[in-house]
Chains A and B, each alone.
Chain A
């Protein structure tokens, strides 16, 4: 397995994680907005399964754009937090739940970045004299 596939997978996970971070930020900011229902994203495994083939780059100016991933990543209504459920105002955001999601996101993103950093360094090392 060439590390090129690792970089690819890591990029996609990083994209997914940043979309999730945005969704969680939105939930937290709107924790007191009436009728706002908490949202979450489709799990990463589901995203991976749905698009096995990566777009080939045929043009030097052509880059992957995050909108490609945003099409695959659906923002869905989050599962109801058992302790809070839907409050009187129609709001279903549980701050504790959202904060633990941010912890998860941070852990996954830092692992992702650390792996990419190491593999990049290793690849460059093999090419040195």
Chain B
């Protein structure tokens, strides 16, 4: 998830070929990236969309894990791990949303 933010920063856009191997390596290790080879970055809208989807996915995973945990099908630690992961991605999504909303309000207040 944080890789996606890096990839979209202005610096990331201009780094180009030199950083392909590093980003590709990071993405190979990170299971969250569904597609590889996005070293040159995605648009901000796509990042936002991905992040929200991922947050929702992790939250659903946390809920499913909680159900299974209550029924006694999986171990306690796995439930805890899933819930923590859901919490992390939710916080990330919220932080990003707050920044976007603040930025948007700033823009609307700009004098033309």
Task: Let me know if chains A and B touch directly in the complex, using CB atoms closer than 8 Å.
Answer: yes
Q: Which residues of A contact B (CB under 8 A)?
A: 2, 4-5, 7-8, 11, 14-15, 18, 54-57, 60-66, 116, 120, 123-124, 127-129
Main secondary structure of the interface of B (DSSP, over half): helix
Check B95–A127 contact: CB distance below 8 A. yes
CA distance in complex: A121, B19 (Å): 30
Whether, in the assembled complex, B61 has its beta carbon less than 8 Å from a beta carbon of chain A, the answer is yes
Check A65–B91 contact: CB distance below 8 A. no
Check A18–B31 contact: CB distance below 8 A. no
Check B31–A15 contact: CB distance below 8 A. no
CA distance in complex: A63, B68 (Å): 10
Check A54–B31 contact: CB distance below 8 A. yes
| Residues on the B chain within 8 Å of A5, using CB | 29-30
| Residues on the B chain within 8 Å of A60, using CB | 56-57, 60-61, 64
Check A66–B88 contact: CB distance below 8 A. no
Check A18–B2 contact: CB distance below 8 A. no
| Residues on the B chain within 8 Å of A129, using CB | 95, 98
Whether, in the assembled complex, B46 has its beta carbon less than 8 Å from a beta carbon of chain A, the answer is no
Whether, in the assembled complex, B82 has its beta carbon less than 8 Å from a beta carbon of chain A, the answer is yes
CA distance in complex: A120, B92 (Å): 12
| Residues on the B chain within 8 Å of A116, using CB | 84
| Residues on the A chain within 8 Å of B21, using CB | none
Check B60–A61 contact: CB distance below 8 A. yes
Whether, in the assembled complex, B32 has its beta carbon less than 8 Å from a beta carbon of chain A, the answer is yes
CA distance in complex: A95, B8 (Å): 58
Whether, in the assembled complex, B65 has its beta carbon less than 8 Å from a beta carbon of chain A, the answer is yes
Nearest CB on B from A7, distance (A): 7
| Residues on the A chain within 8 Å of B32, using CB | 4
CA distance in complex: A62, B88 (Å): 18
CA distance in complex: A128, B68 (Å): 31
Cβ-closest chain A residue relative to B56: A60
CA distance in complex: A124, B84 (Å): 10
Cβ-closest chain A residue relative to B32: A4
Contact partner, A65, options B3, B26, B34, B74, Cβ 8 Å: B74
